[in-house]
Amino acid sequence: MSNVLDAFAADGRWYRGNLHLHTTNSDGRLEPQAAVDLYRRNGYDFLAVTDHWALTRPADLDPGDGFLLIPGEEINGFHPETDMIWHIVGLFLDREVERGGDDTPQWGIDALREAGGDVVFAHPYWSGDTVPEILDLEGLTAVEVFNTTCERAHGRGHSLVHWDGLLHRGRRLWGAAVDDAHHGERDGLQGWIMLKAPALSIEAVRAAFRAGHFYASTGPEIHDITMADGQITVRCSPCAAVHAQSNRWIGRSAYAAEALGGTGEPITEATLDVRDEATYVRVTCTDADGRSAWSNPVFLTE
């Protein structure tokens, strides 16, 4: 079983961060320092500036006390043989990746990993990518399951279908919510991860990210997740629905609304069955305003 549940049981604290952002170093509207100041001012603990084909080095910025900058870069390409547009984000990079590859996403993943990075597949719904196109790619750590800019600009911000399709087929990938902000507050501050770590340092945050010790959110908080005796129990901020989602149609839901079998009071705790045939289970908590939080999956097979 995955150790995702350890994030809720382990010592440490929760840190809020955004892993995808653009500045005037590529096609964003804010100067890098202004972007850092915006997120710090709004209660974030860490930020990755991920300009296109440009590494914005934390040493060139002033994060202030108690705020962590993660070196990152977004690269992209178009593979004419497969008609595939791809965007990927490298985090915790040691050096910048330059253009000049073979236009395949696997080249991009390999290049970012060779530069010291952990790799996130960006906004597959917006890019028009399919599960089969992503399935055989090696070296990914996570996939973006929500992207603010893609949602606000085109209504294509949710890539949960891609995530579940990959999980069902045995790919063990974490799910991140990001802003991909280009315009400051207009498309920022709306998608983030909450990451549990013993310290706010590159080493600790990277280890927690790799282990999946985080959840994605556009609003709700997940306070605890436990599993025992074929059931998963979730504690969260007040929500209208809590779902335990697994392979294909397998899953269970709890609703606050009386018309859907609830008490009429917001849900702050729910216990749901997990079927024996499930290979993974993940949790979605949705509040009365339609905002959601998504846990990383618990893998139920070796």
pLDDT for 130-176, tens place per residue? 999 999 999 999 999 999 999 999 999 999 999 999 999 999 999 99
Q: In terms of DSSP H, where are the helices of the chain? A: 6-9, 32-41, 105-114, 124-127, 131-135, 148-154, 160-168, 202-211
Residue 256 lies inside a defined structural domain of this protein: yes
Residue 1 lies inside a defined structural domain of this protein: no
What is the mean predicted confidence (pLDDT) over 242-250?
Answer: 97
Last residue of some domain: 197, 216, 235?
Answer: 216
**136 residue type, one letter:** D
Do 58 and 132 lie in one domain? The reply is yes
Residue 91 lies inside a defined structural domain of this protein: yes
Do 108 and 165 lie in one domain? The reply is yes
Dihedral, 83, 91, 215, 171 alpha carbons, nearest 10: 50
Number of folded domains that form the chain:
2
The chain-wide mean pLDDT, for the chain, equals: 97
What pLDDT is stored for residue 2 in this prediction? Answer: 54
Picking from 182, 180, 147, the residue whose alpha carbon sits closest to that of residue 163 is 147
Do 212 and 226 lie in one domain? The reply is no
pLDDT at residue 11 above 90?
no
Provide the percentage of residues in the chain whose pLDDT is more than 90. 95
What is the mean predicted confidence (pLDDT) over 71-89?
Answer: 95
Picking from 257, 296, 262, 14, the residue whose alpha carbon sits closest to that of residue 172 is 296
What would the pLDDT profile of 258-281 be if each residue is shown by its tens digit? Answer: 999 999 999 999 999 999 999 999
Do 206 and 228 lie in one domain? The reply is no
* CATH number, domain containing residue 34: 3.20.20.140
What pLDDT is stored for residue 229 in this prediction? Answer: 96
Phi-psi region of 264 (alpha: psi -120 to 50; beta: other; left: phi over 0): left
Do 10 and 107 lie in one domain? The reply is yes
Cβ atoms of residues 143 and 124 within 8 Å: yes
What would the pLDDT profile of 90-136 be if each residue is shown by its tens digit? Answer: 999 999 999 988 899 999 999 999 999 999 999 999 999 999 999 99
What pLDDT is stored for residue 1 in this prediction? Answer: 45
Residue 206 lies inside a defined structural domain of this protein: yes
Answer whether 0.75 is exceeded by the pTM.
yes
Do 280 and 235 lie in one domain? The reply is yes
Last residue of some domain: 183, 216, 249?
Answer: 216
Cβ atoms of residues 10 and 3 within 8 Å: no
Q: How many CB atoms lie within 10 A of CB 104?
A: 16
What is the DSSP pairing of strand 280-286 with strand 241-245? antiparallel
Last residue of some domain: 187, 216, 245?
Answer: 216
**Structural domain that includes position 82:** 6-216
